[in-house]
Amino acid sequence: MNQPMKRPVTEDAPRGLVCRTCGCRHFRVLYTRRAWGGRLLRRRVCRHCGRRITTYEQPAGSLV
């Protein structure tokens, strides 16, 4: 899943993030924190089944 286009939406889930329980890609962000390395820790909950996951994201502008 390599999409050349970058969407400016920051609240969207990172690419490839899929709920392991139900397979959907729709997550609601519960909260965002600063993590080590200047990254962002996001606590997300699946809108479909309610599974909670934690993701680490690079802040916008510093994508590798």
The total of other beta-carbon atoms located within 10 Å of residue 8's CB is: 6
For Zn ion, give the closer residue by CB, 35 or 53: 53
Closest among 58, 30, 56, 35 to 45, alpha carbons compared: 30
Q: How far is Cα 56 from Cα 64, in angstroms, rounded to an integer? A: 14
For residue 41, the minimal CB distance to Zn ion (Å) is 20
Interface map 9-38 toward Zn ion (x if CB under 5 A): ----------x-xx----------------
Q: Which residues inside 34-63 make contact with Zn ion, applying CB under 5 A?
A: 46, 48-49, 51
